[in-house]
Amino acid sequence: MKTKGLLAVTGMAAVAGFAATGAQAEDLTLCWAAWDPANALVELSKDFEAQSGHTMHFEFVPWPNFADRMLNELNSGGQLCDLMIGDSQWIGGSAENGHYIKLNDFFDANGIKMDDFIDATVTGYSEWPKNTPNYWALPAFGDVVGWTYRKDWFERPELMEEFKGKYGYDLAAPKTFAELKDIAEFFQNRDIDGKTVYGASIYTERGSEGITMGAMDVLYSFGFKYENPDKPYDMEGFVNSPGAVAGLEYYKALYDCCVPPGSSNGYMSEGIDAFKSGQVAMQMNFAFTWPGFESDANVGGGKTGYFANPAGPDGEQFAQLGGQGISVVSYSTKQDAALEYIKWFAQPDVQAKWWQMGGFSCLKAVTLAPDFPASQPYAQTFLDSMAIVKDFWAEPSYATLLQDTQKRFHDYVVAGQGTAQEALDGLVQDWTETFEDDGKL
Amino acid sequence: MSHTPIERVAASTPPAIASRVRGLSDRTLAWIFVAPTIFLLLAVNIFPLVWTIRLSLTNYRANRAGAELEWVGLRNYTRILTDPDIWQTMQATAHFLIWTILLQVLIGFTLAWLINRKFRGNDLWTTIIVLPMMLSPAVVGNFWTFLYQPQIGLFNYAVSFVTGIDPSSFSMIGSVELAPWAIVIVDTWMWTPFVMLICLAGLRSIPDYIYEAAAIDRASPWRQFWTITLPMVLPFLMLAVLFRGIENFKMFDLVVQLTGGGPGSTTELTSINLKREAFEKWRTGYASAYAIILFVTVFGLASIYVKALNKVKER
Amino acid sequence: MSGYSITEPTPRQKWIAGTLVVLYALITILPLLWIIATGFKSPADAIAYPPKVVFDPTLEGYVNLFTTRSRATPEALEAMGPPETWYDGIVRQYGMVISGPSRYGERFLNSVVIGFGSTFLSVFLGTLAAYAFSRFKVPLKDDLLFFILSTRMMPPIAVAIPIFLMFRTLGLSDTHLGMILLYTAVNISLAVWLLKGFIDEIPREYEEAALIDGYTRFQAFYKVVLPQAATGIASTAIFCLIFAWNEYAFAVLLTSGQAQTAPPFIPTIIGVGKDWPAVAAGATLFLLPVMVFTILLRKHLLRGITFGAVRK
């Protein structure tokens, strides 16, 4: 108790000191996932350290454990992280349980306007409740599920000819999911340069959120909806609509026909591996992986093409949102310094540099600049994808909702138990139960 | 009748000497020595247990510290016991338990029996066999996922080498049929040595003269095995089964690293399922009830088993 | 007794038994050798098909284990000039630069601190309790002993729920102290049981003689019993240490940035793109001390395992 009190006192003193002089040097810890963008952020933050005199520390956790570890940290009221770049779906829980501090006043005071950021990212990363001007984070890293393909294989004359003969249209980046499956089947078990290759790498991971992100990415375009637009939490006939069932069946068919052997538990890093090692013709993955392919010895140098999520049977086209906002943890004793970091990070020139280094900036000034689409081979695909995003529940009970989805989808798609209809009917049941427990139904 | 320690010491020493026992009395010393252990166990085991029971009657969620606590009576318990998913989990656990124990007893006993032939260098080779069980299951389990990779893994390659099956044609941790066996294989690899060591202790506890007497009676080696070796090792074997049973009922680290419970829920053992409920879905009250049910199950099964064990020992 | 004995196996029997056991031992150790070998492979060799037995050893895995790296543009690499150290050189091949040390060192150190801290505490408390149980009449002795043992039957995840809440309230989450106390509580049951066995074996006459010589009970314990029990205490300590060293379930749930030990950390080394050599390198460094320990101290350890089990 005594030490805790003392800590609080010194913490207050530090804050007070900072407010007075603005020059109190702090040790700030930023928590995020361990991935390429995080390394880029370390580099970027060196400018902040030089300007502010604060020292930045980083705690990066690999994706499969990221949510587990960080939510555990927040739920135990830990003071490890001053700044948290938390996943988009955490926002509801973090706002309602007081893990993050509300940023509205800070934004107003410092002239940071949410209108300057891509609308979908503001809704996705910052707002709770959704579509209300209550901000808990600054959009930090825009991300969305899209696809990469082996342009060099797609452009081989003999393959193009064979494909056209077989399917009656040109071999190119698919525009519909039906085409995507044709192409995947076409490449499955094909011998290319003496190596057996496979159709597509898709998300199948069970433990965290993999298969949900992958299957939802497909289901949206097939007509899946989380709830009745007119009646919140009314899910019957929306979650398990005929379209949604067809979508889930499609995902299973794709899994059964066209993935490399042993792809029963793969997420982002497995996708990267499969694509880089030349195992697959197409790969579903978040946009953050794209800069890595451009500089890769095997698939870089123009061998990789990009396309946004193709359209479903009725022409609807959506993509699963990824990405994160940056928030200040309410348990931190160095909130002022942490806010200072956000203020620095929001500046247009910092955001421009962020994009250059492989960070997907959400600032319109960056993404809407005339030279943006040409700045990287994947830039246009990123913009196209960001325009069609949808996200999973961001409710405080998101983890429960997610785990139920993981189980239902994995049981059906990978383990082959039951039917798609049963899986989605079961999901409606699970989710209803959770919302009832929460008193929302 | 002397009940207190000091009285007993006093009784066992001549009066003149007893008067010279100075310092702390034995009774005080006994308490000072035992108290920290008991206190620690109370604080870290019993208090939490009581707390768990209390939580199991509520709808508490640890990720909503501020939310109002509602007493739900036994609802969590009825919900768990009527949930088909939990029974599926129990089945997966039973499959894992039965097969690991069976294989480990068979292989472990055979190894012990062979080692007891006392060939040269047997203690070094025994140590090498023991190595896997000394290592961190999480770290080793994690690496086994690499050995199980369909195209590049050593395990698949070895199977293909022996049987001629294409190594990329099967996935040990990816297929519903094979995954339950994948975890049985690794656990057997790790823990067979434990059963082996206990059996070895049993074998070595059989005095030579019994065999000598049997040989004089012209009992065949086969008969000696069934009438002497096996009955005398049986209590040890049963003890090994008890230990492995309890350990594997609690199994978490190895399997969570190997399959994470997948594919689907094929290898989702109770501990993994419980972890999801408690620390991913944060249904603390529900998970607490689940924990109590598991605890009662282990305790119940173990006590029945210990009774059986004591009967065997008495024979 | 010398010469022929009917209970002594024939040379032929020995030879067959020996061959079978050695065969099993070789198969069983293969995965461990594979871990060590993979640590010295390049990422490409690690995932080569068919698996490579002969390969060019490299320290890439170890470099990746101990550093964090970030991608640099070709121009930036050009501008930096030639690599200053051999490990810089390894990283540059992949268009990366070293941006700092990794967390592996800290996690390893946490394992050492928590492992030794809890071992010391459990052996210290365990010796006291074991002595009391062995020599004094403690009320409800059998019940207490059973209670101490039964605490090990609870699945760690089940215990972790209230411990998590308790640690959160007391501010012990993710601290070394919290983990040391927790591991001590888990280990102490084993320690008491093992040590009671060892102390039971020490004849009471020694202490009684010391008491007659004018020692107090405590002095008798300290100067007579402890030295006699040294071997037992040492092998108990090794068991406690190995448990704490290997423990995963509590560590993964109750620690994160500060006090996280190596077992929950090592599987997460696989960052973006599976870097198996780095994982293998991390695993090797972590497992090797236990392997060496086991082989060197085999006499005591093997006895301890069966002793602890058979005692009951």
| Segment C183-197, tens digit of pLDDT | 999 899 888 888 888
| Segment A115-151, tens digit of pLDDT | 999 998 999 999 988 889 999 999 999 999 999 999 9
Q: What residue spans define the domains of chain A?
A: 2-142+324-386, 145-320+393-437
Q: State whether A262 and B261 contact (CB < 8 Å).
A: no
Q: How far is A341 from chain B (nearest CA, A)?
A: 27
How high is the pLDDT of residue B289?
A: 95
Q: State whether A269 and C274 contact (CB < 8 Å).
A: yes
How high is the pLDDT of residue B66?
A: 65
Q: Which two tokens stand for residue A277?
A: 């090692």
How high is the pLDDT of residue C183?
A: 94
What is the chain B residue with the closest CA to A426?
Answer: B85
Q: How far is B97 from chain C (nearest CA, A)?
A: 15
DSSP state of A11: H
- Domains of chain C are 1-102 (no CATH), 105-269 (1.10.3720.10)
Q: Does domain A145-320+393-437 have CATH number 3.40.50.720?
A: no
Q: Which positions 236-295 of C are in contact with B (Cβ < 8 Å)?
A: 242, 245-246, 248-249, 252-253, 262-264, 266-267, 276, 279-280, 283, 286-287, 290-291, 293-295
Q: Evaluate whether B188 touches B104 at the Cβ level (below 8 Å).
A: yes
For residue C264, give Cα distances in angstroms to A61, A267, A343, B141, C177: 11, 19, 35, 12, 18
Length of chain B: 315
Q: State whether B259 and A265 contact (CB < 8 Å).
A: yes
DSSP state of B123: H
- The Cα–Cα gap between C244 and C187 comes to 8
Q: Under 8 Å CB-to-CB from C7, ≥6 apart: which residues?
A: B208, B211, B212
DSSP state of C52: P
Q: Which two tokens stand for residue A330?
A: 């309410």
How high is the pLDDT of residue A78?
A: 80
Identify which of A380, A295, A436, A337 has the alpha carbon closest to the alpha carbon of residue A51: A337
> At residue C106, does pLDDT exceed 50?
yes
Nearest to A4 among C69, C171, C174 (CB): C171
Q: Does domain A2-142+324-386 have CATH number 2.40.30.10?
A: no
CA dihedral B120→B121→B125→B128, nearest 10 degrees, is 180
Whether the CB of B20 is below 8 Å from some CB of chain C: the reply is yes
How high is the pLDDT of residue A283?
A: 97
- The Cα–Cα gap between B315 and B238 comes to 14
Q: State whether A39 and C71 contact (CB < 8 Å).
A: yes
| Segment B249-288, tens digit of pLDDT | 999 999 999 998 888 889 999 999 999 999 888 889 999 9
Nearest to C217 among B24, B134, B137 (CB): B24
Please report, rounded to a whole number, the percentage of residues in chain A having pLDDT higher than 70. 95
Q: Under 8 Å CB-to-CB from B225, ≥6 apart: which residues?
A: none
What is the chain C residue with the closest CA to A73?
Answer: C256
Nearest to B63 among A93, A410, A411 (CB): A93
> At residue B13, does pLDDT exceed 50?
no
Whether the CB of C189 is below 8 Å from some CB of chain B: the reply is yes
Q: State whether B130 and C294 contact (CB < 8 Å).
A: yes
DSSP assignment string, B21-78: --SS-HHHHHHHHHHHHHHHHIIIIIHHHHHHHHHTTB---TT-TTSPP-B-TTHHHH
Task: Report, as an integer, the average pLDDT of C135-160.
Answer: 79
Q: Under 8 Å CB-to-CB from A143, ≥6 apart: which residues?
A: A286, A287, A288, A321, A322, A323, A324, A360
Beta-strand runs (E) in A122-243: 138-150, 190-192, 195-201
Q: Read off the pLDDT band of B19 (50, 70, 90).
A: very low
Q: State whether C100 and A29 contact (CB < 8 Å).
A: no
Asked if domains A2-142+324-386 and A145-320+393-437 share a fold, the reply is yes
- The Cα–Cα gap between C52 and B6 comes to 70
Whether the CB of C30 is below 8 Å from some CB of chain B: the reply is yes
| Segment B131-175, tens digit of pLDDT | 999 999 999 999 999 999 887 889 999 999 899 888 888 889 888
Indicate the range of A17-31, A221-235, B42-56, C68-82 predicted with least confidence.
A17-31
What is the chain A residue with the closest CA to B178?
Answer: A415
Q: Read off the pLDDT band of C68 (50, 70, 90).
A: confident
Q: Under 8 Å CB-to-CB from C14, ≥6 apart: which residues?
A: B117, B118, B119, B120
How high is the pLDDT of residue B309?
A: 84
What is the chain A residue with the closest CA to C175?
Answer: A78
Residues of chain B with CATH 1.10.3720.10: 76-314
DSSP state of B69: P
How high is the pLDDT of residue C273?
A: 58
Amino acid identity, position B299? F
Nearest to C71 among A69, A276, A295 (CB): A295
Chain A residues whose beta carbon lies within 8 Å of the beta carbon of residue C257: 29, 31, 59, 73, 78, 80-81
Q: Give chains near A: 3+ CB pairs under 8 A.
A: B, C
Q: Under 8 Å CB-to-CB from C203, ≥6 apart: which residues?
A: none
For residue B209, give Cα distances in angstroms to B126, B205, B206, B231: 26, 12, 9, 16
| Segment A253-289, tens digit of pLDDT | 999 999 998 888 888 888 988 898 888 999 999 999 9
The C-alpha angle A79, A81, A83, rounded to 5 degrees, equals 135
How high is the pLDDT of residue C310?
A: 53
What is the chain B residue with the closest CA to A264?
Answer: B174
Q: Give chains near B: 3+ CB pairs under 8 A.
A: A, C
> At residue B98, does pLDDT exceed 90?
yes
CATH classification of B76-314, choosing from 2.160.10.10, 3.30.1490.190, 1.10.3720.10, 1.10.8.60? 1.10.3720.10
How high is the pLDDT of residue C217?
A: 85
Q: How far is C47 from chain A (nearest CA, A)?
A: 10
Beta-strand runs (E) in A1-137: 27-33, 55-61, 83-87
A301/A164: higher pLDDT = A164
> At residue A307, does pLDDT exceed 90?
yes
Q: Which two tokens stand for residue C94?
A: 């992949």
- The Cα–Cα gap between A393 and A387 comes to 19
How high is the pLDDT of residue A431?
A: 96
Chain B residues whose beta carbon lies within 8 Å of the beta carbon of residue A415: 176, 262-266
Pairing of strands A304-307, A138-150: antiparallel
Nearest to B281 among A77, A261, A399 (CB): A399
How high is the pLDDT of residue A412?
A: 95
Q: Give chains near C: 3+ CB pairs under 8 A.
A: A, B
Give this prediction's pTM: 0.86
